[in-house]
Amino acid sequence: MTRTPARPLLRSAHALLDQAASSASNVLALLLLARALDADTFGRFSLGYAVLVLVLSLTRAALATRITLTPDHAGAREVTATVLGALVLLALPTALLVTGAGLLLTGGQDPGLQLLIGLATPVVCAQDVLRYGAVAAGRPGTALLSDLTWLGLVALALVLGTGSRTTLLVWAAGAVAALVVALAGLRTRPEPARGRELLVRLARREDPLAASLAANSVIASLGLLAVLTAAAHLIDPAAAGSLRAAATAMGPVNVAFAYVSLSLAPTLVRRPRTQDRRFCAAAALVLTTGTALWGACLLLLPDDLGRTAFGATWAGTAGVLPFTVAEYVLTAVGTAAVLGLKVREQARDLLRQRVVTTALSVLAGAVLAWTTRDVRAVAAAVAVAAGVQTGLGWHSLLTRPAPLPATTPTLRNADA
């Protein structure tokens, strides 16, 4: 019996709720760890977690993006199976790489935490790909159920009042459970043979958009990691924890940003390219308004509530928040432009913008960390870089002509 796809509005609502649940499980785990760890230990944990985020971002850019740009549901499931096959082949190297990088960045301290982060990374990446696949295949309810499973287990850790390592174990176990639920709901399985072919094509740069987005993601994540490392070593580990905690406080905004790629990209790619600018302008207005409102709530948060939520990290986080809010408001405007450039497959423009702005944030952040020894100056440098990227993105979207219909991606058999 053929499954009838959910109505567009219902699918969109499911996708938004799914992204909210996915973000909530991560934010809740980070908040629990921030409360359970001292400021310096949380700062070292943040470095290892930044490596996980780097790998996850690379997976989304190089692999999951093609799922969202697949123009029909059956093709999305096929591409998802191929991507899962590639991730199976990369699972062991990924775990070793993340663990090793975390130990290197922290000087070998807290090896248990770094090992747990490394082992969890392949599972987190696979579950994330399945979320994208479920939404693109017209089954956002599967993605939502998967992430609610994960969120429920992390919430259990909150109720039980577990310690830091137990919290991280529960978070990792939740990722495994969520992966199983998503596999069962989407009714797909990894295809390692096709996954190997996909990795070979990526290595040969036969897919310019995927190669550009992968490079974009690596540069952005390495830039963030460099900024955190500079803050940790030139100021103190607590400075890195403050930057991570401030970003964690913007969790609902990150939900909206991820929703743009998860749900709005498949919607826009199936429309005429002449609608790109109007669609992106509307998305920018909604994103910016929501970001500004949430940022205002954080800036007005009483110190007592801040200390309850973030524990010992709140003292540094409160000073960083104004600059982080400014960064996210600027990023909200730019995220909408990036959506349009992705759909138009303007790979070169996206990569150029990322190189320029990441170099700016890393160089300015490191210099200011060294000269001022003030984490607020580092956060200000990152905010300025976000503004530069937003300007470059909208300049490209407004000045580049819309591609002809023939250039619109047709990825029905992208894994063939």
pLDDT attached to residue 37: 73
In tens, the pLDDT along 258-293 reads 777 666 776 777 777 778 888 889 889 988 998 999
End-to-end CA distance of the chain: 26
Q: How far apart are CA 263 and CA 354, in angstroms?
A: 23
Q: How long is the chain?
A: 416
What's the pTM value of the predicted model, to 2 decimals?
0.66
**Which has the closest alpha carbon to 5: 94, 72, 91?**
72
Q: Residues 6 or more apart from 116 whose CB is under 8 A from it?
A: 165, 168, 169, 172
pLDDT attached to residue 9: 54
Q: Give yes or no for residue 415 having a pLDDT over 60.
A: no
Contact status, residue 11 vs residue 246, Cβ threshold 8 Å: no
In tens, the pLDDT along 54-90 reads 898 888 878 887 787 777 777 888 889 999 999 999 9
Q: Is 405 exposed, middle or buried (0-12, 13-18, 19+ CB in 10 A)?
A: exposed
Q: Residues 6 or more apart from 56 whose CB is under 8 A from it?
A: 121, 124, 125, 128
Q: How far apart are CA 283 and CA 264, in angstroms?
A: 9
Q: Looking at residues 249-263, what average pLDDT do you find?
A: 76
Q: Which of 95-99, 275-279, 308-312, 404-408 has the lowest mean pLDDT?
A: 404-408
pLDDT attached to residue 123: 93
Q: Report which of residues 143 and 1 the model is more confident about.
A: 143
Angle between helices 164-186 and 140-160 (to 10 degrees): 160
pLDDT attached to residue 89: 94
Helix, strand, coil % in the chain, rounded to nearest 5 = 85, 0, 15
Q: What is the DSSP track for 120-176?
A: HHHHHHHHHHHHHHHHHTT-HHHHHHHHHHHHHHHHHHHHHT--HHHHHHHHHHHHH
Q: Give yes or no for residue 143 having a pLDDT over 50.
A: yes
The number of C-alpha atoms within 13 Å of 150 and in the hemisphere containing its C-beta is 33
Residue that the structure tokens 């995220």 belong to: 335
Task: Tell me the pLDDT of the chain averaged across its residues.
Answer: 82
**Which has the closest alpha carbon to 227: 242, 207, 210?**
242
Q: Which of 27-41, 222-236, 362-376 has the lowest mean pLDDT?
A: 27-41
Q: Residues 6 or more apart from 38 whose CB is under 8 A from it?
A: 312
Say how far residue 358 (Cα) sits from the centre of its chain. 16
Q: Residues 6 or more apart from 285 whose CB is under 8 A from it?
A: none
Q: Give yes or no for residue 243 having a pLDDT over 60.
A: yes
In tens, the pLDDT along 290-336 reads 899 999 988 998 888 888 877 777 888 888 999 999 999 999 999 88
Confidence class of residue 414 from pLDDT cuts 50, 70 and 90?
very low
Give the count of beta carbons closer than 10 Å to the beta carbon of residue 206: 11
pLDDT attached to residue 368: 92
Q: Looking at residues 202-225, what average pLDDT do you find?
A: 77
pLDDT attached to residue 309: 78
Q: Residues 6 or more apart from 12 whose CB is under 8 A from it?
A: 263, 267
